[in-house]
Amino acid sequence: MKSVVIFIAKFLSFFMNILGRTGGSLPGVVALKFDSRILEKLVWPKDVVVVTATNGKSTMTNMIADVFEKDGRRVVVNRQGDNLRRGVVSLMMKNVNLLGRVRGDVVVLEVDEMSVRDLMREVPVSVLLVGNIFRDQLDRVGSIENVISRLEECVVEYSGKLVLCGDDVGVARLSLKTKAEVVYFGIGRVEGSLDKCDESPDGKICPRCGELLRYEFYQYSHLGRFLCVECRFGDFKVEYLIDKINLDIGSFIVRGVEFKILNKTTYGVYNALGVVAVCSEMGVDVRVVKDVLVEFEIGNGRMEVFELKNGKKLVVNVVKNVAGANEIIKWIMSQSGKKEVFIVLNNAIADGEDIGWIEDVKFEILADENIERVICGGMKVEDISIRIRKAGVEDSKILVVRNIKEGVEKLCDKNSDKFIMVSYTGVKSVRDELRKL
């Protein structure tokens, strides 16, 4: 039966390829219809890495896969981010033989935070990387507490290795529920660390005893060095600890080794650090990791750079939640010279239909003399333009456009550097319009 299901799914993938479709989740949906436990029946390699986080999971997954490929291993990976269970099944159906043996030395899977639990019941995961948990799409996931408790459920029986961001209380909390080996990564006090940070309501309470946590310093949002003085939660050793960062050149030092990255932001450093931790734990030579990180670009609306006809650069970033948007805005403002920002806000299902989160984004920072203009567009153009006005950006600097095409064309008017912040479902249109210029 297993072979028949695999055969049907493979045939579907093949057929859809001929039709010029990438395949997506359909072969997975069909395979699961025939056999809902197909994943359990596959013969997996010893190294299976699962990557989850609110922000950065695609980036980390692709980086880890690149590292293993450069290291000479055969990698099976969902690079396009089909990160729900059916997407993973589709991927695996393409990458097993008819007997169900996985054709690869390593499997690297990006998995949605809410899907990890079910997937881990079926797949023999050897390394689970949890990068961060921020407020995101609460209309879909319920609450941040919901996300964390679902992750907690999946580590109770887990016996592989847990690689956790030790600066995120919600992530570090998983250690309380597991007997698995835990390895932490984090950032020490570096230039740019903050004594106080009011960007997030999360991470305030000790998950073990309920006391208020004390923070020695923050990096951004609720990420930072915390400790419960009551029960000592947070008093763990951070094995992969960054003690120096230079964001101007995109470098950081961990365990005496300097790494360089193209995404010169604190969240870019966190992503890279998670990758360093996973790959080092899995025995990859640090030089291979360095070589991959220094030239890694994911594109696809993550710090994706375009050049306009007038030679000015334009950088596109997907924004989908408060923590991510704040980091992008801070990064934009850290760039020198006059700037123009185009914000495209959609609320399709994949973006999260509730856009209440824009109230908590620090758009106030855009009310600055170096911001020449803020263009507003997308399905929720009214809401975003009202929010920008409320943030203190002068009316004369706000331009509302009917569609992405018009917004992109307007960007060519002025001679400043350009930045686009766009909801997930708007990325494709933005890239298409930019390519037409």
| Residues of the shown chain interacting with Zn ion in the complex, contacts defined by CB under 5 A | 206, 208-209, 211, 228, 230-231, 233
Question: For residues 245 and 44, what is the distance between their CA atoms, to the nearest angstrom?
Answer: 38
| Structural element, H or E, at residue 216 | strand 214-220
Could you tell me which residues are beta bridge partners of residue 299?
A: 302
Please give the sequence-ordered ranges of beta strands (E in DSSP) within 8-146, or none if there are none. 47-52, 75-77, 106-110, 127-130
Pull the structure tokens for residue 314: 């334009």
CB of 143 to Zn ion, least distance (A): 21
Distance (Å, rounded) from C-alpha 320 to C-alpha 328?
A: 11
Which of 425, 220, 407 is closest to 314 using CA atoms? 407
User: How far apart are CB 234 and Zn ion at their closest, in Å?
Assistant: 8
Cα distance between residue 251 and residue 258, in whole Å: 7
Task: Report in angstroms how near the CB of residue 145 gets to Zn ion at its nearest.
Answer: 17
Nearer of residues 4 and 229 to Zn ion, judged by Cβ? 229
Nearer to Zn ion, 236 or 424 (CB): 236
C-beta of 180 vs 231, nearer to Zn ion: 231
Closest to Zn ion by CB, 34 or 236: 236
Quote the CA–CA distance of 315 and 301 in Å, as a whole number. Answer: 8
Give whichever of 211 and 368 is closer to Zn ion, judged by the CB atom. Answer: 211
Q: Closest distance between Zn ion and the C-beta of residue 135, in Å?
A: 23
Taking the complex as a whole, the smallest distance from the CB of residue 18 to Zn ion amounts, in Å, to 58
**Edge-to-edge strands, sheet with 417-422:** 304-307, 313-318, 417-422, 339-344, 371-377, 398-400
| Alpha helix positions (H), 138-249 | 138-141, 144-155, 169-172
For the bound state, the minimum distance from the C-beta of residue 11 to Zn ion, rounded and expressed in Å, comes to 55
Nearer CB in complex with Zn ion: 58/178: 178
Q: Select 176 or 305, whichever has its Cβ closest to Zn ion.
A: 176
How many helices (H) does the chain have, and how many strands (E)?
14, 17
The nearest distance, CB 185 to Zn ion, in angstroms, is 22
Q: Which two tokens stand for residue 355?
A: 């856009």
